[in-house]
Chain A
Amino acid sequence: DAGVIQSPRHEVTEMGQEVTLRCKPISGHDYLFWYRQTMMRGLELLIYFNNNVPIDDSGMPEDRFSAKMPNASFSTLKIQPSEPRDSAVYFCASSLRLLKKAQHFGDGTRLSIL
């Protein structure tokens, strides 16, 4: 079974550029989560979707961050404009039935903003 697929695995770009991270959840999963992981703060939930609808985006740090889920098999996290403090590993995860099932994580996108 294919797991959660994220692309790109690594992204290096200059400050001010637009960055788009992509995620393909596990087929049939109806919840999708975007997380950010840093050494200082660990894993932080940014936003999550249920059946393609954003449920809570209170973890999104600023208006520069936006996320979409146009269909059940694809989601994007966009940062525009990017800043050096956005450098982190961004994970996408998907699950069935929010509280009872494990979240399945992708291998992340390591983002470096110069």
Chain B
Amino acid sequence: KNQVEQSPQSLIILEGKNCTLQCNYTVSPFSNLRWYKQDTGRGPVSLTIMTFSENTKSNGRYTATLDADTKQSSLHITASQLSDSASYICVVNGGTYKYIFGTGTRLKVLA
């Protein structure tokens, strides 16, 4: 069964600290993996998109990694800011329209 599992479900960190969010998937075939940031009351916004051949992609303080062999991805946030408080959603594309969404990690950054 095609699944995307994210951990932890929620996370609280202090401003300025780093954190890493995890995504494990069993989607097959695999086309690409995306990380989205969703602020409360807003639509998801794309952070990174990685294909099979890419194992690292950065977007400012956000760095995503992909291990296609173990079917794992991580999103690392460096020097967190209050504005990083949001849900982070991992999405795996299995070809054509098949987007499999994780249920997200809810991150809270405290001052």
What per-residue 1/0 map shows which CB atoms of A96-112 lie under 8 Å from chain B? 00111111111110000
| Shortest beta-carbon distance from B17 to chain A in Å | 27
What per-residue 1/0 map shows which CB atoms of B77-111 lie under 8 Å from chain A? 00000000000010001011101011110000000
Q: A42-B102, A99-B31, A102-B49 are in contact. Are A48 and B43 (CB under 8 A)?
A: no
Asked whether any CB of chain B lies closer than 8 Å to the CB of A44, the reply is yes
Q: How large is the interface on A (under 10, 10 to 19, 20 to 34, 35 or more residues)?
A: 20 to 34
| Shortest beta-carbon distance from B48 to chain A in Å | 9
Asked whether any CB of chain A lies closer than 8 Å to the CB of B41, the reply is yes
Using Cβ atoms and an 8 Å threshold, which residues of chain B touch A12? none
Using Cβ atoms and an 8 Å threshold, which residues of chain B touch A98? 96-97
What per-residue 1/0 map shows which CB atoms of B23-41 lie under 8 Å from chain A? 0000000011010000001
B-side interface mostly: loop
CA distance A4 to B14 in the complex (A): 33
A44 touches B101 (CB 8 A): yes
Neighbour of A91 across the interface among B31, B43, B99, B102, CB < 8 A:
B43
B46 touches A99 (CB 8 A): no
Asked whether any CB of chain A lies closer than 8 Å to the CB of B45, the reply is yes
Q: A4-B43, A93-B43, A105-B43 are in contact. Are A99 and B32 (CB under 8 A)?
A: yes
Using Cβ atoms and an 8 Å threshold, which residues of chain A touch B41? 107-108
Tell me the nearest residue of chain A to B93, going by C-beta: A99
Using Cβ atoms and an 8 Å threshold, which residues of chain A touch B97? 45, 48, 55-56, 98
What are 9 A-B contacts defined by CB distance under 8 Å?
A43-B89, A44-B101, A91-B44, A93-B43, A98-B96, A98-B97, A99-B96, A102-B46, A105-B44
